[in-house]
Structure 1
Amino acid sequence: MADTPRPAPVSFPEFQTVSTEAWQERIRRDLKGADPAALLWHTSEGFDVQPFYHKEALETLGDLPSPLLPEPAAPDRAWRNVPVVRVAPQNSGHDAVDQARISLDRGADGVHFIFTDDASTFDVDYLHSFLPLETTFIGYSVPHHPSSLLGRLLAASNELGGFLLTDPLTHHHNSEFASHLSELRTVIKLTQHLSKFKALTVDASFFGNRGGTNTQQIGYALNVAATYLQALPNADMSVADVATAMQLHLAIGTSYFLEIAKLRAVRRLWATLLHAFDLPPSLATTLRIHTSTSSWLQTTLDPHTNLLRFTTEAMAAVLGGATSLTVTPFDSLYREPSEFSERLARNLSIILREESQLGRVLDPAAGSYYLETLTDTLAREAWALFQATEAKGGLPKAWGTVLEELRIVSRQQFHRIATGEQVIVGSNRFTQAEEEFEFDPKKLLRSRSFDTTRAAYPTEVLRLVTAMHFRRQLQQNQRAAVVLLGQDANRAILESFLKTLPQEEQTSLPLPELAADTLSVLFSTPETVTLMYATVDQYHALAREVSAPDTADLSIHLPTLLSSDVATMQAAVERHGFQELSVNTYKTDDILARLQGKT
């Protein structure tokens, strides 16, 4: 229309276009002679990230990548806020359903029930009466016999929304994988008519929560998916049926931009994988990515820092294109989450959506010089790893190699944490010297559910057992304890101790050589503490002798805390050949004093 205002062209003639060369020259000038290579970020992924990116970075990628536009989780939701509710073994689940109702009433968009056993006693009718199955988004993690639960759910309602997480290949490795295929085909067949339900979840969080790199989490997830796409189709089920039933579950860590790039890269590679199976590109756009905040860097020390970690992790998940998100309560490592911590976890996602408006734009990273380059690099590295694993026979044949690679990168992280190169706020840097724990260290270390696989475990367990030792001194408790620090803790302790010494001593003191299967322990009496080491067999023998709690099956579980009277424990430690850890003339007292900054 004639009276419609026309926008004036926007230009800034006073600002000239700055070339890459001009920016690089300015960087060199600001460095005042320092080597620009010192600004490179040597990532744990094995590739370097530049300190500066410009438009030429996109030109090296060829055509500018198209924005990734996943289908929204719901008409009014870019992603779903899905808290976890755990169902006790052999339980009707009434309490869990009641807890889920509260979460949904207070802002959650769905719920994820996690069963530690089969769900044979779970009251489906009670669930359906309070959370209608046809309108409620519900996930079910069921380790055994998922088809039985699905059958009962479908008997209650002919429509379901949500997902099933069972993934026997990842959770059981190569142990009788073929025996699980029939069950997986059954759950896919049962749910083929359900457009809002995913029956086959690839649980890539297994790799991320054990210290795996983002490259490994993507690459190995594709290996698992490829195995299902090859093994499950038969005369009654096509490869398209299997692909349609799939979704991915990824753990989101704290490296903000890498995590955004990880989700973007996995979407691109999913399309590539489906193309390799002659499936149409349209099928890739329906991929659901369920995400959860990672346990790998979660801590018991200064636990409120977990809230800050989970905030960046949640932001990375939604900006990267997750379709559902679980935020873990900050205190879940050391107690049953409280109503307070569950509310904070649930509200984090709500704030990101309602106040930060993060769901308004799909793929906001599209076109970013840095993030497009990072996405492309991560995708290339992950695809190369996927191909290398497939060349070894794929999964499950390569499981031994996969687990060894995970062990290597986790040990590298333990080393970086011990030396301070990798910071865990509140654990190895910026710590609370006089921290008061919100839990009983002794009770926590006795718990079989305590997660000892995390990056911070060697650091925090040393602090916990030191606190236990001084508490026993004050109480004049005449019992002794042996605490398992872990397979890599001695090396981490020694390297951290070495950094406290003068430079000339650091270079002259050789660290003791320990066998690969050596376990690190701390032996504590009311009078003294001693850092020691022992083999797995020696530790098993000691555990059996002192009749530790929770040692019903020592072949699969090493008790973290052993306790007995002082005389019995002292004699057993000597009899089973435990050795004190020392560096030249430095013994435990010297090592612990320096680690705690008391010298």
Structure 2
Amino acid sequence: MSDTPVAPSVSFAEFPAVTTAEWQARLARDLKGQDPAALRWPLPDGFTVEPFYHREALTALGGAPAPLPHPVSPWLNVPAIPVPAGDGRAAVDQAVLALAGGADGVHFLLTDATAFAAHYLAEQLPLARTFVGYTVADKPDVLLSQLVDAAPGTAFRGFLRFAPGPVPEGAELADYRAALRRCVRLSSGMPDFRALAVNGAFFGNRGATTVQQIAFTLNTAAALLAELPDAETTLAEVAAALHLHVAVTPSYFPEIAKLRALRRLWATLLHGFGLPASLNANLRIHAATASWTMTTLDPHTNLLRHTTEAMSAVLGGADSLSVAPFDALFAEANDFSSRLARNLSILLREESGLGQVQDPAAGSYFIETLTDQLAQEAWLQFQRVETAGGLPAARGQMLDEIKAVTTETFRRIASGQQVIVGTNRFQNQREQFSFHPKKLLRSSTFDVTRAAYPTEVLRLATALHFERREKKSKRAAVVLLGTNTNQVIMETFVQMLMPHERPEIAASHPPGTLSVLYSSPEEATLMYATPEQFQKFARFIYQIPHEKQHFIPPALLSSDLATLHEAVRVFGFKEMKVQGYTTEEVLARLQGR
């Protein structure tokens, strides 16, 4: 007979059972006549979260669903480490320090996979015991082959993610089938290493809704399952090599439900391909805090976002988690912000005990209902894309649908309906940047695919303008603010005006045009241009020959005053009209001056 004490059953007998009618009566009393419907929470996905859920919600689902499978051990704390061009030895050293400082693994984001010092990595880390992830943009099979050569006979732990530039995996499989199949064969016999990634983070970090993220992730997985098996690589081997990457935003409860819905629909997807149910429990989900919701302005607010994102990830059942440093958008890797990011998982695990319960959201009336709603809507969206040909045929349709959502998001941010603390609400007007705005705007690595970008770039550009005016610089600049940002500026400006001082505001630029700020020592002017005009303008300023086809203009262009002024006139930039106010007055008001 075991001496282990048995935990008593949890009982709250001292509290009487409360019926749904009694709860509703209490809500009506506390709202003092206000309609409870006013508390409904509309989601961007098109359905509404009710302010109150009770046991009938589970009855509507056919009873409480079984808890989802979850590993016995808690999630792994896996910080991401960028590896610039070169052999990456410094990044390996950084990984060693991160592991000594509390990390459970590391995730290398490789610029050049073929140059990576695989042998040095094998010397510094016991790869049989250390969880290591690798993200590469090219030649994933070459990197994996180098790792196998560096540690022969070693069964790796971790994952390999192939992220080929501006397209999701599965979108351009024709060029990569052979390489991905080789990755599956090289990782054969490594049960704790996943060589194929389904990159749902691609969609999440471009502003897709929760339903779109789930659906398009499944579409990507379906493309890999359909296209990769051949005479040497079976369907079951491809499925066993797959894992999911997701980006987690601060939308706390929907993000918990998103991960749970993904696990449920994964079983449905595998069943559709005739695969055994035993593979369902093998699904591994790697979550990362979303770059989509990070901000450059008031960057310490990113710590708050990352905390809720991390909680959603682990409560939703992520197997591993990467928390980005709060200053990752503009600062080089540093010990302070890296330590804060690394310690977030440690605090949630050791002090909050979040890793001690399997599927902690199971049985919640609200979470179970939301999980079911997301799963149903996502499966319908998945089927619509598959009916349209799946990937890669429907890639354009998918990206257009995401673009429509992000356009609406930018509008909501501009109007103040969607709050970004420190950026469009509760701004620190006297904020002293810990980076140089001019250098950041010129950087090719500055992430422009974020919800806050239109608002941020306006603040940075106007800060540069006022600085130039104070210094009486003899140079001028044109800052690319983004697509249709003039509309964002006008909507933001109108929100700041008192009702009695709101003149008629008229937009003078067509949809789809680029918004720019022309800044000279004397004045600032908001303008718009077509993408073709701006491309030609940038080539002229930087003397880029037309034969060079692949040229991406930087966000900030500067030249001497006379040249830039004449170029703006010649290439047809048009001024944005804000009736009753000059551009200087608009910018000054927006800057709190």
Q: Which residue of 2 aligns with 1:245?
A: 241
Q: Select which of 192, 198, 202 maps to 1:196.
A: 192
1:6, 1:479 → 2: CA distance? Answer: 77
Q: Select which of 89, 97, 102 maps to 1:102.
A: 97
Provide closer, same or farther for how the CA distance between residues 304 and 169 of structure 1 changes in structure 2, counting only shifts above 3 A: closer
Structure 2 SS opposite 1:546? helix
Which runs of 5 or more residues in structure 1 are unaligned?
none
Trace 1:208-219 onto structure 2 (pairs within 5 A).
Answer: 208-219=204-215
The Cα of 1:552 is off from its aligned counterpart by: 10
2:171, 2:276 → 1: CA distance? Answer: 33
Structure 1 SS opposite 2:26? helix
Contact 1:40 1:51 in 2 (8 A): yes
Q: Select which of 464, 469, 472 maps to 1:468.
A: 464
Provide closer, same or farther for how the CA distance between residues 338 and 281 of structure 1 changes in structure 2, counting only shifts above 3 A: same
Code of the aligned partner of 2:62: G
1:135, 1:331 → 2: CA distance? Answer: 31
The Cα of 1:550 is off from its aligned counterpart by: 13
Deviations 1:51-101 (A, max 9, x none): 1111111111112100112224xxxx4111111122222x12211111111
Deviations 1:433-455 (A, max 9, x none): 10000000000001010011111
1:291, 1:6 → 2: CA distance? Answer: 35
Q: Select which of 107, 110, 134 maps to 1:140.
A: 134
Q: Which residue of 2 aligns with 1:315?
A: 311
Q: Select which of 171, 178, 181 maps to 2:177.
A: 181
TM-score normalized by structure 1?
Answer: 0.94
Contact 1:548 1:562 in 2 (8 A): no
Q: Which residue of 2 aligns with 1:67?
A: 67
Contact 2:108 2:135 in 1 (8 A): yes
Deviations 1:6-48 (A, max 9, x none): 9999876774322212222222233333222211101112110
Code of the aligned partner of 1:63: G
Cα RMSD (Å) of the superposition? 2.4
Q: Which residue of 1 aligns with 2:278?
A: 282
Trace 1:570-585 onto structure 2 (pairs within 5 A).
Answer: 570-585=565-580
Identity over aligned pairs, percent: 54
Q: Which residue of 2 aligns with 1:521?
A: 516
The Cα of 1:411 is off from its aligned counterpart by: 0.8
Code of the aligned partner of 2:98: S
The Cα of 1:126 is off from its aligned counterpart by: 0.9
1:472, 1:580 → 2: CA distance? Answer: 21
TM-score normalized by structure 2?
Answer: 0.95
Q: Select which of 111, 120, 138 maps to 1:116.
A: 111
Structure 2 SS opposite 1:462? helix
Provide closer, same or farther for how the CA distance between residues 185 and 41 of structure 1 changes in structure 2, counting only shifts above 3 A: same
2:8, 2:216 → 1: CA distance? Answer: 52
Deviations 1:388-421 (A, max 9, x none): 1101011110000011011111111101100111
Q: Which residue of 1 aligns with 2:75?
A: 79
Code of the aligned partner of 1:220: F
2:592, 2:71 → 1: CA distance? Answer: 53
The Cα of 1:356 is off from its aligned counterpart by: 1.3
Say whether residues 1:488 and 2:501 are aligned partners. Answer: no
How many residues are treated as equivalent by the alignment? 590
1:550, 1:84 → 2: CA distance? Answer: 38
Greater alpha carbon shift after TM alignment, 293-302 vs 21-30: 21-30
Q: Which residue of 1 aligns with 2:445?
A: 449
Q: Select which of 144, 152, 156 maps to 2:150.
A: 156
Code of the aligned partner of 1:129: E
2:536, 2:586 → 1: CA distance? Answer: 28
Contact 1:476 1:526 in 2 (8 A): yes
Trace 1:179-578 onto structure 2 (pairs within 5 A).
Answer: 179-503=175-499, 509=504, 511-512=506-507, 514-547=509-542, 555-578=550-573
The Cα of 1:169 is off from its aligned counterpart by: 9.8
Code of the aligned partner of 2:519: S
Contact 2:486 2:515 in 1 (8 A): yes
2:547, 2:246 → 1: CA distance? Answer: 33
2:208, 2:325 → 1: CA distance? Answer: 22
Say whether residues 1:131 and 2:125 are aligned partners. Answer: yes
Deviations 1:134-188 (A, max 9, x none): 2211111122111122112112223211111015597367775312111111110
Code of the aligned partner of 1:198: R
Contact 1:448 1:550 in 2 (8 A): no
